[in-house]
Chain A
Amino acid sequence: MKLITHNMLTSNIIKGVTKGYPLGIIPRKVEVKDVDYNPEFLARMIPNMDWSAVCKAAKDVGHDEGLPKEIAPNFTENDEFLKAAHHVLLEIDVVEGDLVCPETGRKFPVSNGVPNMLLKEEEA
């Protein structure tokens, strides 16, 4: 699971949960993969990202070094910022670990890079 995807997910699917964002990450295996750099795509995506959640996730997986704490004001032209965003959002892959609901502590396992967001019937 990439951090761009993590940024989109909540645990509000659990019955009664309303503040299921952002999900915590307990990493067991994190890989860094090469992904083609595409500033246009990043520039499209960044306005919809919750950047504080990006920073927290990066910290959870131990890749927050040098990551800007805020979205640069002129980010579409800021290559340095876009490159940092590219790396953190697209190249870091949580291969094994858990996603954690911030409200209930319910864990969603990630295995082989695929998060399992299924609930048991009584949880939904």
Chain B
Amino acid sequence: MSASSRTCRYLLYFANEHIEFKIAELKSLASLYNIKLDLHEACIDKKDPFLVVDLPSEDGAIQIMSRTLLVRSAYELWGQGKSHEEMYRNLAAFHTDRMAPYFSANTTFKIMVESFNKTITQKEKVQRIEELPQDILKFEGKVNLKNPVHIFTLMEYYGHVGTTPPDKPLAVYFGRWICDGQRDKISYFNLQKRHFIANTTMDPGLSLIMSNLARVKQNSLVFDPFVGTGSLLVSAAHHGAYIIGTDIDYLLLHAKSKPSRARQKKRASDESVQANFGQYRLESQYLDVLVADASCHKLWRPMIHFDAIITDPPYGIREGAKRVGKDAEDEEKSSLQDEFPKRIPRLRDYHLSDIFLDLLDFSAKHLQMHGRLVYWLPVDRLDYKEENLPSHPCLQLIANCEQVLNSKVSRRLITMEKVREFQENGGMTARVEVDHYQDATFRERYFRPTNLTNDEDN
């Protein structure tokens, strides 16, 4: 019946953050909802926050927006051009029947003006609105600035952030605002308010993006083999998943490790991974966390298949081992001696690339068909090449997005999908063409982003 049942052009206005991830996230969400999306990726300028897409329906746009962290807002595109004049001409060619309902005298509306990479004054904004062609935009409804039924936006693009903006915009868009994405969840899941954190807790924006790349949905069963404080699984549960995690660090899972917040001497008695789910009323989706070595795949019955595996692997198994050695001197620890294995398997030499090969082998076996593995791979930026990526005959690479940490080091968010059934004895094992981590000093060169250090609370 309505306009929403026809293919139409939509404008996605992306946030200027994690731009390397935006296309991968968009494609994952489109495939999650079975929405046809044709992108000419080679032509996409990631630094341009505006992207015009054809979608089968407005409902599709709304579904994508119900999950995206990287698209700020979606608009039904009414007109676009390289100048205001070209945009007006384009607007004149837009379906009048699609515009008509919004011109009704019985409705209320407002028009906004936004500019990217240039600040424009309120006066200029008013002027831009007055210049809009009134013979095309025949608004008859009342203007309501506080609480309009419909919002229209004129957007001007003045080039990449940090470049000198030209006098005239490089691109101009006019559209009807449909809805915003999920950027408000970044503050909702803010770590400063999180009950249980450690210095490796993932920031909420990135962990929600990971869950989007993994296509987590209602009733998914999701596993994090290196669960830590469960930050990735909180995001998955927010998207409707039931979650399980393992971690080798007994003290961490029992919230007996050193607190990560400055000014906190001891962890509260009720700190736990589970408490993080209770905090967001996601407790019903918390299944369990276990103290276990993720390299022991036989812990899981062969029948068990996860819909997604989302994880931030340790960048050196020995780091954890050191921590145990140090904590063993605490008196608090001695009460745990009985349960705490004195010699822990992780003390053996577990080569860094083996962690990733193990993870792929595990995923090939224990992912549901078309289930996804999403994980971080730390790399030396100068040495990194495609051949460093671990591969597996059952897993197809979907996305490989770089997050730069400093001039030398970055981490890559890898998304893989299970596309072939795993067969025992089928010679199906993970491999890597060129080992990126041969150089044992890699770990020393690598250090984590400092966004989660103790000054967090200040």
Residue positions of A touching B, CB distance < 8 A? 1-2, 4-5, 7-10, 12-13, 20-21, 35-36, 38, 40-41, 44-45, 48, 50, 90, 109, 111-121, 124
Contacts of B250 in A (CB 8 A): 116, 118
- Contact yes or no, A48 B339, CB < 8 A: no
Chain A residue nearest to B304 (CB atoms) is A8
Q: Which of B14-22, B200-208, B283-291 contacts A (4 or more CB under 8 A)?
A: B283-291
State A105–B246 Cα separation when bound (angstroms): 23
Chain B nearest CB from A11 CB (Å) reads 8
Tell me which of B93-101, B119-127, B344-352 binds A: B344-352
The answer for the CA separation of A114 and B291 in the assembled complex, in Å, is: 7
Give chain B interface residues in 314-356, CB to chain A under 8 Å: 339, 341-345, 347-348
- Given A114-B253, A118-B293, 9 further pairs, Cβ under 8 A: A8-B244, A8-B301, A13-B296, A48-B305, A50-B303, A114-B288, A115-B291, A117-B291, A117-B292
What are 17 of the A-B contact pairs (CB < 8 Å)?
Answer: A5-B244, A8-B244, A10-B299, A10-B300, A10-B301, A12-B299, A13-B298, A21-B301, A48-B303, A111-B339, A113-B274, A116-B292, A117-B292, A117-B293, A118-B248, A118-B250, A118-B344
Q: How far, in Å, is B208 (CB) from chain A's closest CB?
A: 21
Flag if A8 contacts B345 (CB, 8 Å).
Answer: no
Q: Quick check: A116 and B219 within 8 Å, CB to CB?
A: no
Contacts of A121 in B (CB 8 A): 343-345, 347-348
Residues on A with beta carbons closer than 8 Å to the beta carbon of B211 = none
CA distance A21 to B298 in the complex (A): 11
Residue B115, interface by CB 8 Å? no
Alpha-carbon separation in the docked complex, A99 to B301 (Å): 15
On chain B, the residues within 8 Å of A120 by CB distance are 341-343, 345
* Closest CB in chain A relative to B253 CB, distance in Å: 5
**Bound: A41/B339 CA distance, A:** 34
- Beta-carbon nearest neighbor of A13 in chain B: B296
B272: chain A residues within 8 A (beta carbon) = 112
Q: Is the CB of A4 within 8 A of B274?
A: no
Taking the closest CB of chain A, its distance from the CB of B269, in whole angstroms, is 10
Query: A118–B301 Cα gap in the complex (Å)?
Result: 17
In angstroms, Cα B116 to Cα A115, docked, is 52
- Given contacts A38-B219, A118-B292, are A9 and B300 in contact (CB under 8 A)? yes
CA distance A4 to B293 in the complex (A): 20
- Which B residues are in CB contact (< 8 Å) with A118? 248, 250, 291-293, 341, 344-345
Chain A, residue nearest B293 (CB): A118
Taking the closest CB of chain B, its distance from the CB of A46, in whole angstroms, is: 12
Q: List residues of B (64-102) whose CB comes within 8 Å of A's CBs.
A: none
Asked if B221 is an interface residue, CB under 8 A from chain A, the answer is yes
A35 to B274, CA, bound (A): 13
B296 neighbours in A (Cβ, 8 Å): 13, 117, 119, 124
B33 to chain A, nearest CB (A): 18
Contact B288 A1 (CB under 8 A): yes
A1 to B253, CA, bound (A): 13
Contacts A111-B339, A116-B250, A118-B345; A36 near B300 (Cβ below 8 A): no
Which of A12, A13, A116, A118: most chain B Cβ within 10 A?
A118
- Chain A residues within 8 Å of B341, by CB: 118-120
Given contacts A35-B284, A36-B284, A109-B339, contact A8 B219 (CB under 8 A): no
Q: Quick check: is B254 within 8 A (CB to CB) of the other chain?
A: yes
The CA-CA distance from A116 to B288 in the complex, in Å, is: 12
Task: For the complex formed, measure the closest distance between the CB of A65 and the CB atoms of chain B, giving whole angstroms.
Answer: 23
Residues 397-440 (chain B) with a chain A CB within 8 angstroms: none
Q: Closest Cβ of chain A: how far from B396's Cβ, in Å?
A: 24
**A-B complex: 8 closest residue pairs judged by Cβ atoms:** A36-B284, A12-B298, A117-B292, A13-B296, A5-B288, A116-B291, A41-B219, A8-B304
Is B218 part of the contact surface with A, judged by Cβ < 8 Å?
yes
A94 CB to nearest chain B CB (Å): 10
Closest A residue to B241 by beta carbon equals A41
- For A1, A36, A117, the residue with the greatest tally of chain B CB atoms inside 10 Å of its CB is A117
Instruction: Judge if B376 is at the interface, Cβ distance under 8 Å.
Output: no
Query: For the complex, is B50 an interface residue (Cβ under 8 Å from A)?
Result: no
Give the docked Cα–Cα distance between A113 and B305 (Å): 23
A21 CB contacts on chain B under 8 angstroms: 301
List residues of chain A with CB within 8 A of the CB of B291: 114-118
Cross-chain contact of B218 among A2, A35, A40 (Cβ < 8 A): A40
Question: Which one of B284, B290, B301 lies within 8 Å of A117 (CB-CB)?
Answer: B290
Report yes or no: B254 in contact with A111, Cβ–Cβ below 8 A: yes
Chain B 227-244, CB within 8 Å of chain A: the 1/0 string?
A: 000000000000000101
Partner of A44, one of B219, B246, B301, B303: B219
